[in-house]
Amino acid sequence: MSLLVVGLSHRSAPVSVLERASLAADTQAKLLQDTLAAEPATEAAVLATCNRIELYADVDKFHAGVAELSTLLAQHSGVGLEELTPYLYVHYEDRAVHHLFSVACGLDSMVVGEGQILGQIKDALARGQELHTAGRLLNDLFQQALRVGKRAHSETGIDRAGQSLVTFGLQQLAAGADPALWAGGKRALVIGAGSMSSLAAATLARTGVAEIVVANRTRARADRLVEILQQGDDTAVRARAVEMSAVGDELTRADIVVSCTGSTGLVLTADALADALGVTLDAAPEAPAVTAVAPAPDDVDQHAAWVENGSAASAAYAGPATPRRVTVPAQSTGPVRLALLDLAMPRDIDGAAHRIPGVRLVDIESLAEASADAPMAADVDRVRTIVSDEVAAFGAAQRAAHVAPTVVALRTMAADVVAGEIARLDGRLPDLDEKQRAEITQTVRRVVDKLLHAPTVRVKQLASEPGGAGYADALRELFDLDPQTVAAVSRADLNDPNRGRS
């Protein structure tokens, strides 16, 4: 079996496609279950964030796996396969491992070095474990990705290469001013109480806003977030929770609004925002659009190889993509009365809000374009070295683990042979006392252990090297090991309740 990932992200697809392809929690669960039901896959995990959707699977056939995973992504995202395919990227085996480790370190993030992705990888692993779709390979892979990400942040200055998406968004709202000076004394409304909204509220509190109002569909979660904010030792922010029905009233008093909910529809319409500001949307002049060039999808070589194979799922792919031209509405001019930060995918805030006088809107799309020119820190090179080293170590460990059940089965067979011979000895020499019998048994076991020690240690070493997977097969053949015994050892190891815990 081999690791395969098929996905799309802000690097390969426009925000409009990512927005339409976003997966709700229940849809992710259904996707995982359907992936396991598909013939090529035995394990599956989904990493879905505001700017990426990736499906990981352990498959036995590359081309069939790519076709099946692509089809499943299209079916569950609601974006047609022909439309989705040009934006998909494919990674296989070591390249798939390299990709996830890079993602975990923040190298593939919209804002390089941000640490939010680690929590999202942890959630993806927990979902796979809860639904029993993550087996040995994906458990090991995602656990190692978390360790690699933590190592990158602790051993390098990758955090200096970029900030969290929230911090970066506030910098864009401040339009070049010091965010602390810009936000100081302002009133902020945070819509949502999930992980990203909580991060936004905490960041706003540290930035120096005077008051934070939290609105959430589940009032208890909003109350809990307010409690956490008020317990912070490094801030003196006033905080209170309100029902979602009070958002309209709160808009009339807010200076900053940050929204990140799981809603599939708009949370704030342009009309609602215009009403809060006391202006008429229809009278607002249409701002001229700005056309920018977004980066073309990378990693097309793997994708092109898939196309050349003639997979049905790739029928819409026509070779390497050219840079996309993305039209972004310009912001209204004049003093800013209400600053809006939309971190949701799909979006929470109506894109037409840019036409309202006095409104500045920053969303995922504008953040993607702004971060494209962000400077890269020298520490990025060090993180890339860490990723490469960890990929090699992970591959070696996986190859060594592949031979381990065979080694265990060999030693089990040897122990059975010793037990059988001792039983025969008891029948031929019934007068042996317990001390004599124990000494003979120990001697025979030592002989067997010494004979097996060198070949078993050596086969583990050889198996950890590239191309070493065949040594397990050779060992089974040479010692005529029962394949069912080896498989039983593998199943016992996989079902170990302590496996994969950290």
**Nearest residue to 64 via CA among 17, 21, 1:** 1
Q: Is 434 helix (H, G, I), strand (E, B) or coil?
A: helix
At CA 299, angle to CA 294 and CA 302, rounded to 5? 145
CA 200, 205, 209, 212 dihedral sign is positive
Burial class (CB within 10 angstroms; exposed 0-12, middle 13-18, buried 19+) of 170? buried
260 given a catalytic annotation: no
What count of other Cβ atoms lies within 10 Å of the Cβ of residue 333?
10
At CA 21, angle to CA 16 and CA 27, rounded to 5? 155
Which entry of 8, 23, 31, 50 is annotated as an active-site residue? 50
**Nearest residue to 415 via CA among 367, 329, 487, 485:** 485
What count of other Cβ atoms lies within 10 Å of the Cβ of residue 297?
21
What count of other Cβ atoms lies within 10 Å of the Cβ of residue 195?
13
- CB neighbour list of residue 76: distance below 8 Å, 6 or more residues apart: 23, 27, 30, 31, 34
Cα gap 299→239, rounded to integer Å: 46
Residues identified as active-site: 50
